[in-house]
Structure 1
Amino acid sequence: MSEAPAAPPHASADPHSTARASGAPRPLDLLVTPPAARAGWRVLPARVAAMCAVELQKLRHDRTELYTRAIQPALWLLIFGETFTRIRAIPTGDVPYLDYLAPGIIAQSAMFIAIFYGIMIIWERDAGILTKLLVTPTPRSALITGKAFAAGVKALIQAVVVVVIAALLGVALTWDPLRLLGVAVAVILGSAFFSCLSMSIAGIVLTRDRLMGIGQAITMPLFFGSNALYPVGVMPGWLQAISKINPLSYQVDALRGLLLGTPSHLGADYAVLVLAALLGITAASSLLPRLAR
């Protein structure tokens, strides 16, 4: 009589032995030994993107800010731009004044959004949100960078509104995709710096009332001390000196060169904007713990 065939292996083999053979950690092992931490260079961009996404989620619940902030640049273009184009009071060469003004208004509207960003972080401190964020493993620089670039994205939405208004008014803007991409980068970098400037001031003054007063005190000097409204050559000497250290001037120069094709210094403009954004992130990150005390 022939020997009976060997029984086949049981279908439900031990999953733990399979996990050990494949090198994968067993579920119970994770309760005793945590998984290996990711490298810092992988964690930081992910947390920056997460913080940026959290900030932008607020727009889904309340878009009023975007609508109301579109009024001021529209008034600048419709009233100030159209009037000074007719009287030819400001020398802009062969470029119509309305065309010359449009990039400056884009930079102005982006700055006005970013410069009061510190009020939001003070509100988060008062609500207890900031303290909870600071006790997480997320680096302070990631928190600040996420907020700064969220301000840049908000400013970019505002810039699109200004570009549409300018196009409807007949401003001769470029529609080259690469140049428009450069415009987006310049807007985001400039807004990142001004939002970090606001958050740095918030870390010094610690209250919304003081920040509001300082913000109102510096926005107009920054705007009028740049080349947004008039060429640097028509400024008095002391104002030209201020314009040369004003990041807004470099942002406007880049926007004007990209959108209108006027002579510009794009390499120097972007270098200044990147350096200003990095310095702003560093300063705001170092002052952030003062808000949580």
Structure 2
Amino acid sequence: MSVAPAAPRVVWGEPALRLISRIATFCLVELQKLRHDRTELVTRAIQPILWLVIFGETFSRIRAIPTGDVPYLDYLAPGIIAQSALFVAIFYGIQIIWERDAGVLTKLLVTPTPRAALVTGKAFAAGVRAVAQAVVVVVVAALLGVAMTWNPLRLLGVVAVVVLGAAFFSCLSVAIAGVVLKRDRLMGIGQAITMPLFFASNALYPVELMPGWVQAISRVNPLSYEVSALRGLLIGQPTNYWLDFGVLVAAAVLGIAVASALLGRLSR
């Protein structure tokens, strides 16, 4: 009597663990690039520092922007942290185009690894880069006398917010790269949308001071929710954390989905 071959053993959750492992691998590869080019962190830190030192200090003295009982520099610091993360992430698609030109992307796309894993790995790598940038801004803000919390749980929340925000904007950049296909076009679009995203948020001033149409943009701008969460975590300003984190998570998931769908256009 023949014996039927035993069915292959399936470990519960193995596909998910394999996907997480691949995401982590892509993330580590991206971080190794940062280790070999640390000057990028230094050069990218200059602009946020100038915003704090010049813009923040000046407007704190003239008191041109009403922020209630919160000193303007304290109000501004979380917005500059979000801005620095935005600037790190919004040009991340250029790296994808460079990998396409070097033939690296094509090799990655023919592997069994899902495109979502590749995009997610790069998104979280952008998040870690943004966290490194945020640390610099936090240190400078502390030296300028900004009254921030040093509660470890709140700081962990700050890390999560920065990672989620950078993940979305890096995916937005990758999605744009999948549409325009060229570095110079992506640079132009990135420069065109970065400052409007920044100014049409609550990073520099309360939403109530904006014209009505800018307020409408601010309400659908993920950067506004990132700033609100950072203000709540760092300086204790009241905010709806469920709404802030919900919008950031939804934006990151949507960004990964759209970027993954458009990634294949870069290999054609």
Aligned residue identity for 1:146: G
Partner of 1:30: none
User: Cα offset for 1:41?
Assistant: 1.1
Partner of 2:26: 51
SS in 2 for 1:95: coil
SS in 2 for 1:70: helix
User: Cα offset for 1:35?
Assistant: 10
Distance, in Å, in 2 between the alignment partners of 1:250 and 1:35 is 45
Gaps of 5+ in 1: 1-33
Partner of 1:120: 95
Distance, in Å, in 2 between the alignment partners of 1:239 and 1:140 is 35
One of 195, 199, 210 as aligned partner of 1:224: 199
Q: CA RMSD in A?
A: 1.3
SS in 2 for 1:136: coil
With CA pairs under 8 Å and 6+ residues apart, which has the higher RCO, 1 or 2?
A: 2
User: Cα offset for 1:42?
Assistant: 1.5
Distance, in Å, in 2 between the alignment partners of 1:147 and 1:99 is 32
User: Cα offset for 1:36?
Assistant: 7.9
Asked whether 1:205 is paired with 2:162, we answer: no
User: How big is each residue's C-alpha offset from its partner over 1:216-266, in whole Å with a ceiling of 9 and x where there is no partner?
Assistant: 000000000000000000001000000000000000000001000011111
Distance, in Å, in 1 between the alignment partners of 2:10 and 2:181 is 38
Partner of 2:107: 132
State the TM-score, normalized to the length of structure 2: 0.95
One of 240, 250, 253 as aligned partner of 1:265: 240
Asked whether 1:287 is paired with 2:254, we answer: no
Partner of 2:118: 143
Aligned residue identity for 2:263: L
Partner of 1:160: 135
Residue correspondence of structure 1 range 1-293 to structure 2 within 5 A: 39-293=14-268
Cα distance, 1:35–1:123 mapped onto 2, change above 3 Å: farther
Aligned residue identity for 2:78: P
Aligned residue identity for 1:60: R
Distance, in Å, in 1 between the alignment partners of 2:15 and 2:191 is 39
Distance, in Å, in 1 between the alignment partners of 2:34 and 2:136 is 16
Aligned residue identity for 2:43: T
Distance, in Å, in 2 between the alignment partners of 1:42 and 1:256 is 35
Which one has a bigger Cα radius of gyration?
1
Aligned residue identity for 1:175: W
User: How big is each residue's C-alpha offset from its partner over 1:119-172, in whole Å with a ceiling of 9 and x where there is no partner?
Assistant: 000000000000000011110000000000000000000000000000000000
Aligned residue identity for 1:104: G
Aligned residue identity for 2:118: L
Cα distance, 1:124–1:35 mapped onto 2, change above 3 Å: farther
Aligned residue identity for 1:122: I
